[in-house]
Structure 1
Amino acid sequence: MSDGVAPTAGAERTAAAEAARLWHITLSVAGEEAPLREVRRSLEQLAHDHPFLLTSRYAHDHAEIRYWEEARDLHDAAAVALRLWGEHRSSASLPPWEIVGLEVVGRETYHQRVAEGYGPAPATPVGVHPF
């Protein structure tokens, strides 16, 4: 600060809370076919490793993961989302699929879309489900 007074810990937490926002992420991945049982098990492990996952839908050759991410801005939220699949590929035994789609929208936009009846339905039921 210009007056030489350091910010208090409470002020730092408040600034951090104001800086971070919630973003709704939809990550789509696809690739060569894999056994459904293995795809489901790996997505369940991913949900266990990344507790903010709301829902995953899957088929033999693609999956969609929807969750909320806390980040300062869209760029940060997208960067985290783009790393999610690769960073958990080994620990969750995810198929070697590539990211083929990413949507990142702010919380207000997500809720406005749902209220107006266009855009993704609320992520219910929570969990891992076949398409």
Structure 2
Amino acid sequence: MHATAASSEPVHIVRLPSDPGSVAAAREHVEVLCRKFGFDAFAPVQVVSELAGNAVEHAGMRGGIEVWVSVEPGYLWIEVVDFAPEYVPALDHIAEPDDEQERGRGLLIALMLAERVEAQVLGDRKALCACFPTAG
């Protein structure tokens, strides 16, 4: 869905059901591809875990989720697509939760670990896209 990622080759897509077990499958998908392409997997795996968890929680059972991984010169893109376009986080207004709150840090983690995080809506779906530099 991301303009850059959509034109990159190759794009690796995995389709998963909207259930909590899909978060682990999303992490594994990203980790395997990072190893395949020789990239450090730590940040991409952490970010896809947070984005997939949010997609499963907020998209409910509508159509499952998709995890797209694409590589372009100098960058790795991770995109988590769901079918709940009405829930688009305002990424420039993410507040840190209180210390007592057990949840609500996922997007903050993504924003801290990725070079860039974007939200896009296309028809009946949305994507949260995270960009990671691949060269030192």
Please tell me the TM-score bracket, short chain as reference: 0.3 to 0.5
Q: Which has the higher contact order (CA 8 A, sep 6+)?
A: 1
Length-normalised TM-score, structure 2: 0.32
Length-normalised TM-score, structure 1: 0.33
